């Protein structure tokens, strides 16, 4: 991997997709010691790719490899990816039975002008801004993260951006509801990256410093959410002890959706309310 931010993307993709099909990290290219960052094949017998992945889910809807560049790659680096992917396709063809031919997706934080021109890439029709494709026989597409539309469906990919794009994506992630699936997927990974940067001050880069600055409140926010989630579980246990089988799926949904203020009110009533209806009364 090229930077710790590329490792973040690699981990995010693996966790997001591992329930949907086999996914290999550092997939070996037999003709060369280089490796593919990620290789994923959707499995129809396993979970479908979740809708909340948005554009990331669309990118990985078919057999795919992914190469991640937090630092915008040069034309030579993009060309090397194309060559490596050709060798990887050859190695896959030797497997018995051969798997589907994967499309290579190169995800770049910025726009690699020389690579786009040199490889003859064109805007991909039917896709949002920021998506380019090589001629078909090269099996390669490019995501320019800085050009993606700023909508919720691109959020997980924009977390792989740099500078202002990453800062904006982190702010949007933090603004989502606490139970948003994007938050549940990405926040633990961002926390892990933050701890890694803090543990290695000697290797800290300007990108690392900016990331630390814009994620200062993530730890406290995550701690509060975890404590509140634990409080919900504690309240449900108390309700089951008090009211037994009357605590049905509807009651569980009410507790799961309640605000912190509602939880406090119900907790104060749990020992005195004669019925669930009395406990939940407004």
Mean pLDDT of the 178-188 span: 87
Integer Cα distance of 108 and 67 in angstroms: 8
State the Cα angle at 174 between 227 and 219, rounded to 5°. 45
Which three-class secondary structure state does DSSP give residue 178?
Answer: coil
Integer Cα distance of 133 and 142 in angstroms: 6
- Nearest in space to 37 (alpha carbons), one of 164, 160, 205: 160
pTM of the complete model = 0.78
Contact predicate 119/77, CB 8 Å: no
Of the given ranges (47-56, 135-144, 188-197, 245-254), which has the lowest mean pLDDT? Answer: 188-197
pLDDT value of position 2: 67
pLDDT value of position 231: 78
- Collect all residues with Cβ–Cβ distance below 8 Å to 163 and sequence separation of at least 6: 109, 207, 210
Contact predicate 15/60, CB 8 Å: no
Of the given ranges (110-124, 150-164, 207-221), which has the lowest mean pLDDT? Answer: 207-221
Mean pLDDT of the 273-278 span: 88
Scanning the structure block, which residue is given the tokens 């026989």? 137
Which three-class secondary structure state does DSSP give residue 7?
Answer: helix
pLDDT value of position 30: 59
pLDDT value of position 262: 84
Q: What is the mean pLDDT of the chain?
A: 89
């Amino acid at each position: 991997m090229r930077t710790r931010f590329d490792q973040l993307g690699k981990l995010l993709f693996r966790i997001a997709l591992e329930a949907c099909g086999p996914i290999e990290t550092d997939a070996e290219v037999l003709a060369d010691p280089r490796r593919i960052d990620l290789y994923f094949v959707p499995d129809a017998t396993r979970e479908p790719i979740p809708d909340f992945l948005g554009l990331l889910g669309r990118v990985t809807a078919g057999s795919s490899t992914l190469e991640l560049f937090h630092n915008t790659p040069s034309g030579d680096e993009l060309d090397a990816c194309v060559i490596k992917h050709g060798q990887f396709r050859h190695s896959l063809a030797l497997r018995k039975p051969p798997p589907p031919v994967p499309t290579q997706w190169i995800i770049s934080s910025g726009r690699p002008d020389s690579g786009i021109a040199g490889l003859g890439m064109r805007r991909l029709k039917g896709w949002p801004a920021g998506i380019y494709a090589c001629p078909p026989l090269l099996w390669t597409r490019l995501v320019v993260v800085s050009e993606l539309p700023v909508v919720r469906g691109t959020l997980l990919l924009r977390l792989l951006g740099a500078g202002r794009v990453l800062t904006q994506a982190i702010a949007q992630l933090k603004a989502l509801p606490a139970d948003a699936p994007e938050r549940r997927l990405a926040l633990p990974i961002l926390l892990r990256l933050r701890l890694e940067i803090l543990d290695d001050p000697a290797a800290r880069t300007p990108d690392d410093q900016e990331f630390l600055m814009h994620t200062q409140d993530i730890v406290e926010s995550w701690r509060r959410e975890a404590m509140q989630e634990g409080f919900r579980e504690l309240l449900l246990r108390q309700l089951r002890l008090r009211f037994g089988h009357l605590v049905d799926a509807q009651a569980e949904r009410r507790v799961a959706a309640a605000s912190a203020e509602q939880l406090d009110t119900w907790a104060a009533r749990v020992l005195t309310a004669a019925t669930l209806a009395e406990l939940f009364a407004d």
